[in-house]
Structure 1
Amino acid sequence: MWSTLLNRLQRFSILSLDRRPRLTSMIAQEVAKGAAVVLFYADIVKMTAIENRYGDTAAKRVLHIFERTLPEVCRDVFEIKGKVLAIQRLWGDDFAVYVSFSSGFQEEECRLMSISFQERMEMQVNRQVRFVHREDLRVHIGYARFPGVDVVKEMYTSVKHAVHMAKYGVTSEKYTHVTQFHRLLQDENIDMHYMPIVSLRDAEPLGWEALARGPQNTPFYSPAALFSYAEETDMVFRLEHICRKRALEQLRYLKPNQKLFINIDPRAIDDPYLLRGDVLGLLERYRLNPRNIVLEITERHAITNYAVFRKIIEAYRKKGYLVAVDDAGAGYSSLESITEIYPDYIKLDMSLIRNIDVDSIKQALLETFVQFAEKVKCKIIAEGIETERELETLMELGVPYGQGYYLGRPARGMAQVSGRAMNVIRTAQETRTAREPIPLGVTPDMTDILSKTVCVDKHAKVRRVHHIFEQNQRIESVVVLEDGKPIGLVMRFQLYKILGGPYGIPLYYERPVSHIMNTNPLTAKKDDKIDDVAKRAMARDAYHLYDVVIITGEEEEYVGIITVQSLLDKLASIKLELATSANPLTGLPGNLQIERVLDHRLRRNEAQTVIYCDLDRFKWFNDRYGFEVGDQIIVRTAALLKEGVKRFGTHHDFIGHIGGDDFIVITTPECAEPIVAFLIEQFGSYFADIYEKRRVSDDSILSMSMAGVSLLPGRFGSVEEIAQQAAWVKRLAKERPGTVFVSDQDRECAEANDSGRDWTRAEQRGKMGAV
């Protein structure tokens, strides 16, 4: 008997940890031959309870019996279809059996063999253990297959998987699900859906949040079930790692100004794939950079050590990644996380958004969040928007971004914003635009403040760029070109920050500048308006807020740069000039700005309509009732014109005050007709109280003569010619009673034009003021 047992033990050696290299080699050889190597884990249920109840001697006897029985049962069960490589005692009563099967081996056979092993082992042990009177001993069994990619690493992970399976019971449904879950992780069978995050100002997508889904028609399809199994099996890091890899496969579809939001559990944040993997090479391939990726730190689990957590976050920031705090308001310590992490985005949990349209407490809280975010230079994203009223309320409160089923559901590709949400946002945008002040004039284009800087090719070494900055302390930026077109930007302070970090010089100094440049700098056309470019510049994130703006020509070629300081200085001087030239009574632009606007519209060579407005009998009112009434009439006329343009015009329309009772409106031909109709209809009502107080007779009331001049491309060569035409058409309008409009495109007006005119150019100049 003892000789037989010794032979078995020699064949199935019970290995100690110090012989693991030999076992690793055996497994690797089998995998190399194409075999399937499976680890079966077995232990005695409630071994500690046996020791406590029956004593240490009895427990050792049970363990001895289990250990002695194990080789025989392994041979009877596993060698029917495979070959036992080794039996390893892990610790205490825990054993691992390594079995090699042929390549066509099915996983279901593992489950059936596990059931057979459990039954036989329990029967053999209970037959020999006589002192247990109340209940039979039970045996746990679980298994895990070696993928064969990294056997050394899999020695640990396979035991871990098998242990998790063993605790559920080999015949239970949970055991089957855990088996499927580990196979899912092994095959990396995860799908990613993408949910749009939308600007609530213009309906443009800020980016997409990547959301994990398991295989369809399985218990793991929903994210809740998927991550619940990851929690139970302690595989959160592994699952999140797979999700991130899958999410980043969609980088190719991102535009340079869009972002991909990726969820990160605080317990699994130190992912080498993001910090030390090939993600940067992937970004470079698609002409993106780490700032296109936002790492969402979920608040569903508490951050236990902020000191360590901050160091990891800083490592991500040095790489260029942006950071968001997810589920703010629903986690363990929302405010603490925000103050410790300094996020670029704060994502408000849907519990704060639900029914916010009828909850004044939530509205007040959200207003506080918005004000706080503006002060600390981060942006709010409202999650879980599901109704139109919630969306409208969030826009009214000034929330810049949102996501939710009403805006767009998750989809396999980059999901688009829903049509109904887009209509709501754009309608609000139009209303907001209509309330904005009427433009006061024309601002200069980029060429007025253009400057030059040094340019390098994208293959230039970082060392060369560093030398450029060192040799000329006045240069703050270097533009990177490819075939004469700008593709990147390097700012002095950003380069020094990179090189000054750990291993910065040895890591980057001899590499092409394309590895460190900002691949998405702000660019503008040389004929863009300064105020528009300034708004775009100041809307950038804090890290790039003071980067220069690159100016390009019609063919996207490099022209020059402008600094944020020069932009702001020029805007300040423009506002001062506008304030100086504006009419003090109405606040509308005066003659200087009117002339500039007309000249600018002529040079743009676009169809426009000029409406010259002149009050009839104003002098009589002014002389009879005094300057106070006269000023009141002038102010109300200006208000009437503003109301007409606000309702029926565009934000590009212009209103000017020539002087006295003369005004000018410049609009598009499409808007001219409804604006004029409104002015004719509403004119009398604007002065009804003035007539009533002074008992003015019907034949003495005010009216307005309006002359329309069409600025068709090529029709006029100067502002003076427009003035001549307007003065002549106005004379025809004054010949008609009441508030009227006469256009130089009318047939009757055209016939009068053909018959000739008898006034001089000086007269028109006098009537048009300095226009």
Structure 2
Amino acid sequence: MLSTLIKRFRRFPFFSLDKRTWLKNVIGQEFDKGRSVVMFYVDIVKLTDVEYRYGDSSAKRVLQIFERILPAVSRQVFEIKGNILAIQKLWGDDFAIYVSFGATVSEEDCRMLSIHFQEVAEKQLNRHVSFVNREDLRVHIGYAWLPGQDIVKEMYTSVKHAVHMAKYGITSEKYTHVTQFHKLLAEENVQMHFMPIIHLPDGGALGWEALARGPQDSPFATPATLFTYAEETDTVFRLEHICRKRALEQLRYLNPHEKLFINLDPRAIDDPFLLRGKVFSLLEQYGLNPHNIVFEITERHAITNYAVFRKIIEEYRKKGYLIAVDDAGAGYSSLESITEIYPDFIKLDMSLIRNIDADPIKQALLETIVQFADKVNCKIIAEGIETESELRTLMDLGVVYGQGYFLGKPDRGMAQVSGQAMNFLRFMQEKRSNEQVEPIIFTPAMTEILAKTICVEKHAKVRRIHEIFEQNKRIESIVVLEEGEPIGLLMRFQLYQILGGQYGIALYYDRPVAQIMNTNPLLACKDDKLEEVARRAMARDAHHLYDVVIIIGEKNEYIGIVTVQSLLDKMASIKLELASSANPLTGLPGNVQIERELNQRVKQKVDQMVIYCDLDHFKWFNDRYGFEVGDQIIVRTASLLKEAAKRYGSGTDFIGHIGGDDFILITTAQCADGLGAFISDAFTPYFADIYAKRRMEDGEVLSMSMAGVYIQPGMYENAEAIAKQAAVMKKLAKSYAGTVFIKDCEFPFEDRLRLQG
């Protein structure tokens, strides 16, 4: 029997996988001739059903008949347009027929040949099968082109391709769509749209999420259908690989502080293109680094092996990439993913965000998530924001980043925040600014906690940086300079993290430090306020949270560094000092802080106004109605001064409580009149309820005398000189009835001398 089959199929040999070299050579020769090669996959539909119903011998008989008729049917059909190279038995009842065509063969030609083969094969098979009480046997068929670049690999992938096509039926619409989908993959015909992710406090772009789109006039125009076909054809990894390549082509449009968010399916995470590919040369070309790329680990498919998954994630971290957990709260393994991955960002699924403004349960849940994220130094991004009310609620709950159609729709380019959303965010920014009633207090300049570190030029090799760290165990940072100006920073732990990766040394050791440095370090001027620098430092990404702050001079030249630890230590010291010297009743800075602030202000190069505020007849009210009413008046006065500074101040105003009923307010010369006018107008209404409860006697009315001392650069030497002039002006102000505001600059110089005398 076997010898008969061999003779019969001498022209069309069956062979096993160990003969694939022979077939590779045959196919290769066809490509050398400029011909096309197509693999047609065929099998018998539900042959196992025949075995269950009629027995094993009947099923074997059907297969033998099919093997016998296959060469003749193949020759009858395919040699109309091409030449049969070989017929390969794959497994069971599955066969691959390799056919060579001229260069003019089309998709429609292959489709019509497949339909013809199916008709002929089914007719021949059913004519030879003799057992009764059965339905007609049917044949599946599918096909796939071999591109000719890696023939052995294509012999395998073409079978997978053709199998997926065959199961839908050659004449069905789904078959047509699957064919189009495989063509899309072959041509990498995928476009990327980019959706902005917005920093809600100021409306700036944190970055953009790359979203895949198929051809516009095709069944794959939306991501849902695109990835549905990828799932059905088992080509998710291939499709995601194409999407990532397309997304990374847009790196050139990123600024150093912006990020590109790219989706990464857990099943397709070990992508050599990302871990060992040319991504790093792209980053170097555009002056970026891996921190500009955030991989979103989607939860649409559960992670089954966290031990392996964590190991791969660590490889990404060692390269410097950032990680986000996507679709958190969508009903899968959100908490497990977060605890296992330790992401830099948590992206909340839109199901949690939708109508959150009207759902107290969602609000309570989100508030808990925000608190959790703060504790683990992770940033929250709310997805799917579609209304102003949702955005307002999210901001009230402390969410810092968001994306959604209300903020900005996906577009081919790097889309910006929409005009409507930007107007709302500006309104919220102004509202927050107005609500900041606490006065700015004195803190030392950055130079008081300045330290030094080693600096290198941007062309220095990573090898040299490693040697410096090894030789200087006490330094934790190196600043990268270009013509004396800092352009980058590298921390010790970040370098070791990068070099500690599997390919770290091989990739980077002999490359310039500019390729792996942080190109967007936090810079602060030497005269910046310490508390503002501390706020900016603590608002950084978790990966850079403890990077040093680089201090620069007036011409952007490098001066030194400040560590986060020294910042926090100094802030703690200041707070302790404030707590010990602040007035216990109003909480405002006391005399120690006031004197320090005045001495600092006289050194500044701007015109300022120091306003001394003294309540008139306060002692009478305090003695007449008791300390409780007196304390109420003092606290109310402090609130009035804060409101005045909030509404009409400069934003850098200082309010202090000298003691008793004496206060001080320091502002710019331009804001002084507005402040004085508001206090004069609002003073009596501010205490109306106190008046209403008590009968005034002897015409006593509570009022305030405000004495302004104008400060120009170089006019006063210290706080004592200012206090001396203020005492004169305060005495003059008290000579007027009611609430008044007088300024020494309104009097002629001779009159001021006379007043001082």
After TM superposition, the score normalised by the length of structure 2 is: 0.91
1:250-289 correspondence runs (5 A):
250-289=250-289
Give CA-to-partner distance per residue, 1:288-325, whole Å, 9 cap, x none: 22222222221222222222222222222222222222
Q: In the alignment, is the contact (CA less than 8 A) between 2:531 and 2:571 conserved in 1?
A: yes
- Which residue matches 2:368? 368
Task: Give the Cα separation in 1 of the matches to 2:244 and 2:369.
Answer: 29
1:610-629 correspondence runs (5 A):
610-618=610-618, 621=621
CA drift of 1:664 comes to 3.1
Alpha carbons of structure 1 residues 172 and 676: separation in structure 2 relative to 1, 3 Å: same
Task: Give the Cα separation in 1 of the matches to 2:673 and 2:567.
Answer: 37
Is it true that 1:759 corresponds to 2:751 in the alignment?
no
CA drift of 1:20 comes to 0.9
Q: In the alignment, is the contact (CA less than 8 A) between 1:8 and 1:71 conserved in 2?
A: no
- Which residue matches 2:201? 201
1:178-577 correspondence runs (5 A):
178-502=178-502, 505=505, 508-577=508-577
RMSD between superposed Cα atoms in Å:
3.2
CA drift of 1:445 comes to 2.0
- Could you tell me which amino acid in structure 2 is paired with residue 151 of structure 1? I
Q: In the alignment, is the contact (CA less than 8 A) between 2:437 and 2:643 conserved in 1?
A: no
CA drift of 1:171 comes to 0.7
CA drift of 1:255 comes to 2.4
Alpha carbons of structure 1 residues 567 and 754: separation in structure 2 relative to 1, 3 Å: closer
Give CA-to-partner distance per residue, 1:376-396, whole Å, 9 cap, x none: 222222222222222222222
Secondary structure at 2:468 match in 1 = helix
Q: Quick one: percent identity of the two aligned structures?
A: 71
- Which residue matches 2:164? 164
- Which residue matches 2:151? 151
Q: In the alignment, is the contact (CA less than 8 A) between 2:318 and 2:500 conserved in 1?
A: no
Q: Which runs of 5+ in 2 are unaligned?
A: none
Give CA-to-partner distance per residue, 1:138-191, whole Å, 9 cap, x none: 111111112233222211111100010001111110000000000111111111
Larger mean Cα displacement after TM superposition, 641-650 or 306-315: 641-650
- Which residue matches 1:16? 16
Give CA-to-partner distance per residue, 1:73-102, whole Å, 9 cap, x none: 333332333332222221222111222223
Larger mean Cα displacement after TM superposition, 39-48 or 376-385: 376-385
Q: In the alignment, is the contact (CA less than 8 A) between 1:302 and 1:331 conserved in 2?
A: no
Task: Give the Cα separation in 1 of the matches to 2:639 and 2:330.
Answer: 49
Alpha carbons of structure 1 residues 316 and 131: separation in structure 2 relative to 1, 3 Å: same
CA drift of 1:217 comes to 1.6
- Could you tell me which amino acid in structure 1 is paired with residue 446 of structure 2? M
CA drift of 1:472 comes to 2.7
Task: Give the Cα separation in 2 of the matches to 1:417 and 1:381.
Answer: 15
Secondary structure at 1:643 match in 2 = helix
CA drift of 1:371 comes to 2.0
Alpha carbons of structure 1 residues 368 and 576: separation in structure 2 relative to 1, 3 Å: closer
Alpha carbons of structure 1 residues 559 and 137: separation in structure 2 relative to 1, 3 Å: same
Secondary structure at 1:197 match in 2 = strand
Q: In the alignment, is the contact (CA less than 8 A) between 1:199 and 1:400 conserved in 2?
A: yes
Alpha carbons of structure 1 residues 140 and 673: separation in structure 2 relative to 1, 3 Å: farther
Q: In the alignment, is the contact (CA less than 8 A) between 2:602 and 2:714 conserved in 1?
A: no
Q: In the alignment, is the contact (CA less than 8 A) between 1:609 and 1:667 conserved in 2?
A: yes
Task: Give the Cα separation in 1 of the matches to 2:503 and 2:180.
Answer: 44
Alpha carbons of structure 1 residues 447 and 169: separation in structure 2 relative to 1, 3 Å: same
Q: In the alignment, is the contact (CA less than 8 A) between 1:300 and 1:331 conserved in 2?
A: no
- Could you tell me which amino acid in structure 2 is paired with residue 759 of structure 1? R
- Which residue matches 2:642? 642
Give CA-to-partner distance per residue, 1:330-357, whole Å, 9 cap, x none: 2332222222222222222222222222
- Could you tell me which amino acid in structure 2 is paired with residue 219 of structure 1? P
Q: In the alignment, is the contact (CA less than 8 A) between 1:612 and 1:662 conserved in 2?
A: yes
Give CA-to-partner distance per residue, 1:242-301, whole Å, 9 cap, x none: 111112222222222222222122222221111221222222222322222222221222
Task: Give the Cα separation in 1 of the matches to 2:584 and 2:337.
Answer: 52
- Which residue matches 2:666? 666
Give CA-to-partner distance per residue, 1:403-457, whole Å, 9 cap, x none: 2222222112222122333333333333333333523433222222212111223
- Could you tell me which amino acid in structure 2 is paired with residue 241 of structure 1? H
Larger mean Cα displacement after TM superposition, 734-743 or 314-323: 734-743
- Could you tell me which amino acid in structure 2 is paired with residue 354 of structure 1? R
Task: Give the Cα separation in 2 of the matches to 1:553 and 1:755.
Answer: 42
- Could you tell me which amino acid in structure 2 is paired with residue 128 of structure 1? H
Task: Give the Cα separation in 2 of the matches to 1:538 and 1:223.
Answer: 37
CA drift of 1:234 comes to 0.9
Give CA-to-partner distance per residue, 1:94-135, whole Å, 9 cap, x none: 111222223333212211221122122222333333335533
Task: Give the Cα separation in 2 of the matches to 1:249 and 1:507.
Answer: 21
Aligned length, in residue pairs: 755
CA drift of 1:515 comes to 4.4
Alpha carbons of structure 1 residues 86 and 102: separation in structure 2 relative to 1, 3 Å: same
Task: Give the Cα separation in 1 of the matches to 2:515 and 2:8.
Answer: 61
Task: Give the Cα separation in 2 of the matches to 1:567 and 1:118.
Answer: 78
Alpha carbons of structure 1 residues 88 and 650: separation in structure 2 relative to 1, 3 Å: farther
- Which residue matches 1:768? none
Q: Which runs of 5+ in 1 are unaligned?
A: 764-771
- Which residue matches 1:51? 51
Larger mean Cα displacement after TM superposition, 390-399 or 58-67: 58-67
Task: Give the Cα separation in 1 of the matches to 2:22 and 2:669.
Answer: 88
Give CA-to-partner distance per residue, 1:2-22, whole Å, 9 cap, x none: x99989844433333222112
Task: Give the Cα separation in 2 of the matches to 1:461 and 1:217.
Answer: 50
Alpha carbons of structure 1 residues 650 and 68: separation in structure 2 relative to 1, 3 Å: farther
Is it true that 1:118 corresponds to 2:118 in the alignment?
yes
Alpha carbons of structure 1 residues 546 and 680: separation in structure 2 relative to 1, 3 Å: same
